[in-house]
Every structure is written in C-alpha cells, then in structure tokens.
Chain A
Amino acid sequence: MSEWKFVVAPHFGNRAKRQQMCAAIKRAVEQRGAAERLPLVRYELGSRGEYYLGLAINDSQAEGGRIPDIAVEVLGDAGIRKDRLVGPIEADKLAALLKGCIDCESFTRPITFERRQDVAHEDLMTLAAVLSDDQTELDAPDTVVIGDLANATRMDQLLTWCSAVGSGDIARLRAACGVLGIEVDPSFGGVWSVLRRLVLVGHVEFDPNRNCRWAVLPPTLVQSASDDGWWYLVGQRTPAILEALRSGSELGLQPQAAAPPTLQVGASLDLAALMKSVGSLQIAGPAAAKIAAVLPDRCGWKERLPEWQENDFGRFNIEAYSVDSDDWASTESRAPTTDGMYRFTLHRESMSSYPSVTTTYLDSTAHKHICGDYYGMRFLARAAAGACRVAYLPEARHLLIPPADRWPMPYERALILASGMLPRRITIPYNRSYLSYQEIPEELAAKLCSLLDINMECI
C-alpha cells in the first residue's frame, strides 16, 4: 500500500450514503476493468455532513503528481467534479483519515501476522541419529494403583490418548507429551525415545518411510513367555476396554518407569468370550517366540540394512565411536577406513538450526557405510570387536545385558514382548549395571544369542 496514492474529494452524506457512493465507485471501477489501477475506495468516518472520499491510485501517471484520467472519469461518473479532486497524496498520510469502507463503519485494528513454528523437522533429525543411551526408562516405580485411571501415570494417559486419536505423526506425539508433562529431552532422542518405547512394548507401530507416522494397535492380547503362560494387553486401552476385559478375566498392573503399566491378564482366560466382549480384540499369541523364529541372524540383518550413499565426507564433522570408552571421539580423518560406528554431523543453516546427523557402521570389507539407529550401529561395532556380553539367570529367567551392549531394535522387540515389560536396570557388585529382561525362557535367550552370534553366559 505504501506505493499507492490517494485522490481525495470532499462530499456530503450520512454513513449509508457514503457506503452507497463507495459501492457505486467500486462497480464503476470493476466495469472498466481498472481494479489494478484503482485498487481501494474509502471514506472518512463521522456521523453526518461533509466527509472526504478517497480513491487509491496505482498508476504511473500519479508518479508525476497528476491525477490519472481513469480516476477522474470514475469519480465524475459518481457525481464528483474534477475541480473538487485533491491529490495524489501518499497513502500513509491519509491512513488515519480514511478509515471507513463498505461493511466496516468503525475503527478497526488489524490482526498481527503470526509465523508457524515448525518442530517436525527437528524431531525427525533427532530421531535420525542423536539418540544417546537413555537410562531414564530403566528405573521402575514401586506401585501403580490398579484400575484407578484418575491417578494413572502420565504414560498411561498418553496411551489412553493414543487409543482415542488412533494415529498421527511425530509432531503430534511430541505435542501430547508436552501437554502431559512427559519429558522429551533431545539429548536422549527427544520424542523418538517415547515412540520407541511404545513400539517396543507393542502398543503402537510406526512407519519410518512416512516421516515416522505411528498408529496405535487395536486391543491385542499377547501371551507372555512365562511358565504359567499369562497374557498381557497391548494397543488401545480405554476405560471401556478395561471394563469389558475385567468382566471376563483377572487383571493386574505391573508398573514401568517409562511406559504404561503392563496390563496382565490371567492365564485362565476365555479367549472366545473376551473377543465377544471386546469387539476389536486381536490375539497375537506368543509373539516373542514367533518373532524370534523368523528373525535373520546378525549377518543377514546387516545385509538388509541400507547403505549410506554419501561420497563427500569433507562437509561433515566426523566422530568415531570408541568401544573401550563407549563414547564418541573426534576424528581427524576425512574418510574413515576402519570398521566401526561413526557419527556425521552437518550444520545446514538453510534447513534448520538443528544439525543433520547420520549414524553409520563402516563395513570396510564390503566398502560401505550402513545406516541405522544409535543402538543398532553401536551393537554392530561392539559385536565386531567381540565386546558384547550377555548373561542368563535360569532360575529367575532373566537375561542380563550391559547397557552399552543393548541389542538392535528387532531383537530387543522379541525380548520385551516375552513379558510386555521394558528392561529394568540392576546393579551388581563393583558398580556394574545391567539391563534385565524378564520372563525369558532359556530357549528364547539361546536362540536370540545364537542369531546375534554372541556367547551367552549362564549364571
């Protein structure tokens, strides 16, 4: 508007007449196809008597201080004589005077433009690779009040909300975590860390090919790998679903530190009756054993992982993973050559303030960088160095894994689905800590260790 000028004319009339005059001028401009050159018509507010009428001009003739002929013609048709016209005058000088227009008869204040904050990109960048070893999920609270949803944990509420909305993208989950006060610390993977946990315990599934779009599963019963074969519920969990389940079976809640409590269902359940009372109920059966039976071995898995098609490493800040210290160290090399895990960081101002990070495992024999998540690539690096350890406690049916040796997600899924419980952290003498996976039968433990080609120590 700053470029436009106004031609002004005094006129007489009340508000209604002023509006009629403006409408007539608008029509005249439209009929002449002159809207580009005469873009606005306004009037001075006031209850009666003389007022100023203004017609905006966007015309080269106005630049020379002349009122364009088209403006004279249009205003003449509306009954305003040429000798009454004043201008052209800069628009900003008249802004306070010409406040009236059609359908707006009072002073109004414009709305301030708001820019959108785009966090989705940052979320996905976080997801890509910066996940550090997240220990916050490992310490379990002691109790959860069974059936008391009003006092349920935040993760319980998150699952209830997921059950209601059905699906969404990573930003939607992040927003929900924000409202519920669930911490999404970027240094521990941000919202990806929350999504990962919900996926591992089987409540939701995600599609990495669709910007990590996720969806909750319909209520699904999974048989644990315990001796007595109790079941647990994953997927949608609402008061109505719980009520329907409660009518046909015994329910119990096992607390978890950073996931919804595991809802255990007694082994003596009547599946047919439950499926009747919960219409959408699915039966997954012994999921841990089923998945373990079809998982590939470590080499097979590595072959399935995508290759990172990047040749210009000079653009990146490169860090190498040290198996000994379980930490990153800067490397001077512009082109890594030894097997191991690497982190490539690229600061791109144009995309986001957040850096683009890629975690890879260099397989020097195959001459390729393999892409994957932090835990997966770290496992490959440590396994290749022969550093991975695992212990089995047959009596307790616990599998113990040092945090640094946490298994790749496909294999950890099988471990967690044996009980529906995330691992707990236990500390043994000499201050060593382990991830403890529960209800793991020896055959399952042996099968998975064999697939990953690591030696299982029985204690």
Chain B
Amino acid sequence: MPNYEAWNSAIVKYFTAGVPLGNAVFLSVDGDALDEIAFEFLDITAGTLDTAADFVTAVRDSCVQPCGKLDLQRFRGQDDGIPGGVGFLALLVLSANRMQDDNVANDLNYFLRLREILGIDPEQSRPEGLPTGAEEPLWLAWNRYLALKGFLPTAERGEGPQKFLRYIISQTILRECDKDYLLDVLRTNHVPPNLDCDQIGFRLARCHLNRRHLRDGIHHPDPTRKWEFYSAAHRLYESEEAWNAADAAPRRATGDRARTIEAGLYREESLFGSATHYLFPRQPSRSRAAVLDVSRFPNEAPVRLEVLRPGFFVPPWEQEPFCDAPVEFPISGGASIRCVRFPNRDFWLLTVDPENPQGAWATWKRYVDLGERFMVLCRPGEFDAEMQRFKEAELLAWEERVVRTNWVEYHGCMVLSYEWGAFIPNVGCRTLADALTPRSLAGVSLLGGLRDPNQNAWIEGCLPFLKVYGFDSQFEVRITSSDDREVFHDEVSQQEEQSLPDLSADQYMISVGSHNSIHASRMFRIIGWDQVQAHQHPEPITNASPQSTAGLALRGPLIVNAEPTH
C-alpha cells in the first residue's frame, strides 16, 4: 500500500498533468480522482484496492497521534521539491466533497465530517492540533509551488467566519452528492452523446439547477472557476459508461475508464491570408504521459502524438472545421485513452497563442477574456446571421468577415458590451451567445514585454504593459508582491496602456476594481535573467533554400543532408 509520501507526490502529479502553463489548478479530490490517481500514478490495478480508504489511512497514519491529536509538523517540509502538505489538504477537500448538501459552508458540520474521516472523537469543532488557521501555511505553500511551476493557484482565503474554510470550499467542485444529481439533470434534459466540454457546459448553464453550490459554480463570474465546473461535469458525463447504451442500471466508472482526447482547431495562416486548419488535440489532463499513436484512416499508418507544450499535442493533420457528426480517431498505446474526438461544432472561437501574440490562432483557451481579440468560425446560415445581429446590437465588433466554402470567418472580434442580457438570441444559437457573453465587469491584460514561456513568467527589466478592459471609465488597480506589499496603486483609465513600475523578481497579484468591489484579479511572475530556462524541445527547423544554403539541408552548423533538394 502506498504511504503518505507516495500519495502526496501522486496527487501533485495528477492535478498538474497535462495542464497548460498559466491555467488554473484546483485540488478537487474526490473518490473518482483517488481511483484515477491510484491507477495512473501509483500503478494500482483498478478494483484491487479501496483507494479512498487507503488514502485516508495513509494520511491518518502520518498525522494522527495515538491520543487523537493532529501533528501537522511533518507536512511543513518539502519532498523532492513538492510541498509535503498536499496530501493532507487533499483530505480536507475530500471531506468537503463528501458533505451531503449545501452545508459545507457550515464549519461545525464540516469538522464533524473531518473528524469522522480521521477516526477521531466526533465533535463539531476543529480537531486538536488543528487550531484555527493552522492549515493556512500548507495552502500557501501549495499556491507558491503552483505559481513557481507556472500554473494559476486557486485556493483562496475567505472573510469572516469562513476565513480558512474558504480555502477548502474554493477547491470543492463536484461533490459526491452533486454527481448523481447532475447525471439526472443530463438525462432529464436528453443530452445527446459525444458532446465536448464546452457543449456540456453551455447546456448545463441553460438548465435549472436546484443545488446552490452547483448553480454558483456553473454561473461563476470567474471563467477559470466556471470552466472547472464544466470540465468536471464533462468528465462525469464521459465516465457514464451507460450513456450511449440504454443500460437500465448505469454505473459510474472508476480509475481505468476509457477516455477520449478532446480535439480543437489550429489555424496556420500564410502571409497572403490563405489559412489551413489542423486537428488540435488537447493533452489529456490528469493522466500519466504515454506514447500515443492516432489513426486517421483504418488503412493508414498511425501518427505519433507529440507534445507541443503542456496541455497540447502537435497538430497531426489537416482538418475541416465543421463536420456532420463527431469524428473519432482511434488511439493505440494509451491504456486509458480510447480515441481522439473531433466534435461536431456549430462554431469555433480561436484565440492567438498565449505564449506568442504573433503566433497561431487556435483553441488554446476554453473561453475568451474580456478585451481579448478572437476569431469566430461558424457555420453559414443562422449562426452567420446571428453574428450580424450581435453586431447590430452593438455587443460585438470585428475587423473582417470572410466567407469560405463551408463556413464563415470573423477576424479580429472583440466583445464590446456587458449588456448581453438584453439580447434575445435565436434558440438554435444560444450557445454562441453564451460563449461570447462576458461574466465580469473588468479584465486585465498584460501586453508586450519578454516572457520565459517555460515558467509562464516575464523577465526582469522587460516587463509588460498593463491594460484594463472593462465597462467603466476608471478602475482602481492595485499590485501586491508575494509578501502582500503594495507595489502599485493607482486609478487607471479604461483601455489605457499603463507601464508597470520597475518590479524585481517575485510573484505579484493585480486586482482591478471600481466602486469598492473587485472585478478581476490576475497573478503574474517576474524572474531574473539568471533564472531563464531553455526550451526543452526547440523546433528542428531545417533550411534547404538555394539562397541561404545553396540547397544543402542545414540546421545551423549541422548538415542534415548534403544532397541539394529541389
């Protein structure tokens, strides 16, 4: 049986695997996650172990003293660079996920449940050894670790009586009691099979949800949190083995469930405007990296999926953006991955490469940030007409509309208005309106500067400009360093480029607000030149042009092929 250290390390690997740098990480541990962690990262065969019980035992053995008092001391260190307390924090979240109703906000009930899991005297109070706020250093260490790795930490402190409980609630996505309810909602609403994460999310957003935790999550103004609920709902939808078959007694799958790789679209443009679209598979999150080969056609040799960067595979082949039905490309190699699925979408929202503002347009992100420019590809007919209506209603503007044979492209789109609630969409186009509707009153962009994409950090002395996009004329912007020291505080006008002060290497938080409320916050990191890391796999570009190599295939000083290429 794995010990605490093994669980601690496996949990960290599980929650950060396949996550693009800059994306949010939630420590949303539940029974299904523990099954997958055991299967994917601890090499435990599915069904051979009660993983949740084993995990709880490992945590209990590591911190509960014979007298029933908790000892958190051993969690304060690091194990191979990984904070030692993540396993314990995971147990705190697991306890919240096992709450049966919306009472997670009630700390007395919560600690009763925690005591029960830890096997100590059932009382409605914090366990001995876990005084108020004692767990906060562990959360801060976890947040620091994530930020150093280039991810966006999400565990946050609350206010008032929920000051510390908020850390746990902020990581609770789908609780055990939400899952069956959600499946009922999906069934009641006759949700068809083979939908992707966005499609499931948009459908759920249209459903009436009785559970407050779920409703708040699905409609959360922070898109990272909202999309975490969408992703969790999609995982649940996908794991429902009986979804496609009319199984009278469906069972939820566990760690060894066969999964699919979601694919989006990657667009490469030539200098003179012609564009080619490619299949753009997302690296599956929460799974161990494996060698995966994907087949386009049954009689063709499979193509190896190479990692482009964390979160994405190199586009393997050209792909028409719109098809009549979802297309599945079978995978060989990955035990738990069945196929790459290209969904049957009515529209695509493409954003520019987050690591390179001059780079390719693709489905890099699940959502469009306020002020961000994007490209819409949609089917002709009602979706095209709906885009024109958005423009007529002054909700959206674009630079150029290009009609292709099977779809219409809108280049240089920007959402302009917050008043999408006034708009009445055509029923068939609701999802497009949902995808474009802004949920927060402001957003902050960091533009320019030089970044080390390997660490999702800017380099000292080459800092970006700050620009606030929002639906007010002035915003109060505050920047604090990792030790909560204010380094910038000023009124900033809407869409005005603001230089940052000369900040040294550290992690910073930007908060944007107006009228005493905070509308957006964003974390960013600055590193010194001496911390810059080399890209792990620079593209192997070979030049064989007669003008610059006389036709020899050269890669810098290396001769790849001495024969001239014609």
Mask: chain B, 411-443; 1 = CB below 8 Å from A; 0 = not: 010111111111111110000000000000100
CA distance A180 to B556 in the complex (A): 24
CA distance A58 to B416 in the complex (A): 21
Find residues 356-393 in chain B having any chain A CB closer than 8 Å to their own CB. 356-359, 370-371, 373, 385, 389, 392-393
Find residues 95-113 in chain A having any chain B CB closer than 8 Å to their own CB. 101-104, 108-113
Q: Which residues of B contact A408 (CB under 8 A)?
A: 547, 550
Cβ of A363 under 8 Å from chain B: no
A236/B546 contact (C-beta < 8 A), A202-B556, A215-B541 known: no
Cross-interface CB contact of B557 among A111, A179, A287, A372, cutoff 8 Å? A287
Q: Report whether A40 and B539 are in contact in the complex, using a CB–CB cutoff of 8 Å.
A: no
Q: Report whether A42 and B556 are in contact in the complex, using a CB–CB cutoff of 8 Å.
A: no
CA distance A16 to B290 in the complex (A): 53
Cβ of A259 under 8 Å from chain B: no
Cross-interface CB contact of A111 among B371, B550, B551, cutoff 8 Å? B371
Q: Tell me the minimal C-beta distance from A217 to chain B in angstroms.
A: 4
Mask: chain B, 273-290; 1 = CB below 8 Å from A; 0 = not: 000000000000000000
Q: Which residues of A contact B548 (CB under 8 A)?
A: 199, 206, 208, 373, 409-410, 413
Q: Report whether A116 and B412 are in contact in the complex, using a CB–CB cutoff of 8 Å.
A: yes
Q: Tell me the minimal C-beta distance from B564 to chain A in angstroms.
A: 6
Cβ of A291 under 8 Å from chain B: yes
Q: Which residues of B contact A238 (CB under 8 A)?
A: 532-534
Interface centre among B392, B415, B541, B559 (most CB of A within 10 A): B541
Q: Tell me the minimal C-beta distance from B500 to chain A in angstroms.
A: 13
Find residues 267-305 in chain B having any chain A CB closer than 8 Å to their own CB. 270-272
A287/B417 contact (C-beta < 8 A), A211-B271, A241-B534 known: no
Mask: chain A, 129-169; 1 = CB below 8 Å from B; 0 = not: 00000000000000000000110100001001101111111
Q: Tell me the minimal C-beta distance from B123 to chain A in angstroms.
A: 41
Mask: chain A, 289-320; 1 = CB below 8 Å from B; 0 = not: 01100111000110011100000000000000
Classify the secondary structure of B's interface with A. Answer: loop
Cβ of B397 under 8 Å from chain A: yes
Q: Report whether B538 and A217 are in contact in the complex, using a CB–CB cutoff of 8 Å.
A: yes
Q: Tell me the minimal C-beta distance from A268 to chain B in angstroms.
A: 21
A161/B532 contact (C-beta < 8 A), A203-B556, A205-B543, A211-B270 known: yes
Quick check: which of A30-38, A82-90, A323-331, A335-343 contacts chain B, the rest being far away? A30-38
Q: Tell me the minimal C-beta distance from A171 to chain B in angstroms.
A: 4
Q: Report whether B424 and A39 are in contact in the complex, using a CB–CB cutoff of 8 Å.
A: yes
Cross-interface CB contact of A205 among B399, B425, B462, B541, cutoff 8 Å? B541
Chain B's closest residue to A43 (CB) is B422
Q: Report whether A111 and B495 are in contact in the complex, using a CB–CB cutoff of 8 Å.
A: yes
Cross-interface CB contact of A376 among B416, B417, B471, B547, cutoff 8 Å? B547
Find residues 169-207 in chain B having any chain A CB closer than 8 Å to their own CB. none
Q: Report whether A108 and B472 are in contact in the complex, using a CB–CB cutoff of 8 Å.
A: yes
A239/B531 contact (C-beta < 8 A), A172-B358, A218-B538 known: yes
Q: Report whether A291 and B531 are in contact in the complex, using a CB–CB cutoff of 8 Å.
A: no
Q: Report whether B546 and A306 are in contact in the complex, using a CB–CB cutoff of 8 Å.
A: yes
Q: Tell me the minimal C-beta distance from B318 to chain A in angstroms.
A: 15
Q: Tell me the minimal C-beta distance from B415 to chain A in angstroms.
A: 7
Q: Report whether B529 and A160 are in contact in the complex, using a CB–CB cutoff of 8 Å.
A: yes
Q: Which residues of B contact A172 (CB under 8 A)?
A: 356-359
CA distance A231 to B389 in the complex (A): 65
Cβ of B542 under 8 Å from chain A: yes
Mask: chain B, 212-247; 1 = CB below 8 Å from A; 0 = not: 000000000000000000000000000000000000
Cβ of A321 under 8 Å from chain B: no
CA distance A23 to B539 in the complex (A): 52
Cβ of A1 under 8 Å from chain B: yes
Cβ of A406 under 8 Å from chain B: no
Q: Tell me the minimal C-beta distance from A344 to chain B in angstroms.
A: 17
Cβ of B67 under 8 Å from chain A: no
CA distance A89 to B423 in the complex (A): 18
Chain A's closest residue to B545 (CB) is A208
Q: Report whether A295 and B358 are in contact in the complex, using a CB–CB cutoff of 8 Å.
A: no
Cβ of A234 under 8 Å from chain B: yes
Cβ of B522 under 8 Å from chain A: no
Q: Report whether A33 and B532 are in contact in the complex, using a CB–CB cutoff of 8 Å.
A: no
Q: Report whether A217 and B417 are in contact in the complex, using a CB–CB cutoff of 8 Å.
A: no
Q: Report whether B531 and A284 are in contact in the complex, using a CB–CB cutoff of 8 Å.
A: no
Cross-interface CB contact of B422 among A101, A120, A211, A218, cutoff 8 Å? A101
Q: Report whether A296 and B550 are in contact in the complex, using a CB–CB cutoff of 8 Å.
A: yes
Cβ of B473 under 8 Å from chain A: yes
CA distance A114 to B494 in the complex (A): 12
Q: Report whether A294 and B562 are in contact in the complex, using a CB–CB cutoff of 8 Å.
A: yes
Q: Which residues of B contact A26 (CB under 8 A)?
A: 424
Q: Report whether A373 and B547 are in contact in the complex, using a CB–CB cutoff of 8 Å.
A: yes
Q: Report whether B494 and A216 are in contact in the complex, using a CB–CB cutoff of 8 Å.
A: no
Q: Which residues of A contact B499 (CB under 8 A)?
A: none
Cross-interface CB contact of B359 among A124, A169, A176, A304, cutoff 8 Å? A169
Cβ of B78 under 8 Å from chain A: no
Classify the secondary structure of A's interface with B. Answer: mixed
CA distance A165 to B451 in the complex (A): 8
CA distance A410 to B551 in the complex (A): 9
Q: Report whether A207 and B541 are in contact in the complex, using a CB–CB cutoff of 8 Å.
A: yes
Q: Which residues of B contact A165 (CB under 8 A)?
A: 355-356, 451-453, 535
Q: Report whether B427 and A35 are in contact in the complex, using a CB–CB cutoff of 8 Å.
A: yes
Cross-interface CB contact of A222 among B453, B543, B557, cutoff 8 Å? B557
Q: Which residues of B contact A1 (CB under 8 A)?
A: 392-394
Chain A's closest residue to B269 (CB) is A211
Q: Tell me the minimal C-beta distance from B198 to chain A in angstroms.
A: 20
Cβ of A209 under 8 Å from chain B: yes
Interface centre among B373, B423, B469 (most CB of A within 10 A): B423
Chain B's closest residue to A410 (CB) is B550
CA distance A171 to B472 in the complex (A): 33
Chain A's closest residue to B538 (CB) is A166
Cβ of A264 under 8 Å from chain B: no
CA distance A275 to B556 in the complex (A): 19
Chain B's closest residue to A95 (CB) is B394
Q: Report whether B423 and A39 are in contact in the complex, using a CB–CB cutoff of 8 Å.
A: yes
Q: Tell me the minimal C-beta distance from A173 to chain B in angstroms.
A: 9
Cβ of B249 under 8 Å from chain A: no
Cβ of B121 under 8 Å from chain A: no
Q: Report whether A114 and B373 are in contact in the complex, using a CB–CB cutoff of 8 Å.
A: yes
Cross-interface CB contact of A167 among B418, B425, B538, cutoff 8 Å? B538
Cβ of B454 under 8 Å from chain A: yes
CA distance A209 to B420 in the complex (A): 44
Q: Which residues of B contact A29 (CB under 8 A)?
A: 424
Q: Tell me the minimal C-beta distance from B405 to chain A in angstroms.
A: 23
Q: Which residues of B contact A287 (CB under 8 A)?
A: 557-558
Chain A's closest residue to B420 (CB) is A103
Q: Which residues of B contact A417 (CB under 8 A)?
A: 557
Q: Report whether B541 and A290 are in contact in the complex, using a CB–CB cutoff of 8 Å.
A: no
Q: Which residues of B contact A241 (CB under 8 A)?
A: 534
Q: Report whether B543 and A111 are in contact in the complex, using a CB–CB cutoff of 8 Å.
A: no
Q: Which residues of B contact A366 (CB under 8 A)?
A: none
Q: Report whether B556 and A110 are in contact in the complex, using a CB–CB cutoff of 8 Å.
A: no
Chain B's closest residue to A54 (CB) is B422
Q: Tell me the minimal C-beta distance from A39 to chain B in angstroms.
A: 6
Cβ of B540 under 8 Å from chain A: yes
Chain B's closest residue to A23 (CB) is B421
Cβ of B250 under 8 Å from chain A: no
Cβ of B459 under 8 Å from chain A: yes
Mask: chain A, 209-226; 1 = CB below 8 Å from B; 0 = not: 101011111111010000
Cβ of B77 under 8 Å from chain A: no
Cβ of A121 under 8 Å from chain B: yes
Chain A's closest residue to B382 (CB) is A36
* Further pairs besides A35-B424, A36-B426, A207-B542: 8, Cβ < 8 Å: A104-B419, A111-B371, A150-B529, A163-B535, A172-B357, A213-B541, A282-B558, A291-B559
The 5 A-B pairs of least Cβ separation, nearest first, read A102-B421, A166-B535, A101-B422, A287-B557, A171-B358
Could you jot down 19 A-B contacts, CB within 8 Å?
A1-B394, A35-B425, A36-B426, A38-B424, A108-B471, A110-B394, A120-B271, A150-B528, A163-B532, A164-B453, A165-B451, A165-B535, A179-B462, A180-B450, A202-B556, A205-B541, A217-B555, A218-B538, A410-B549
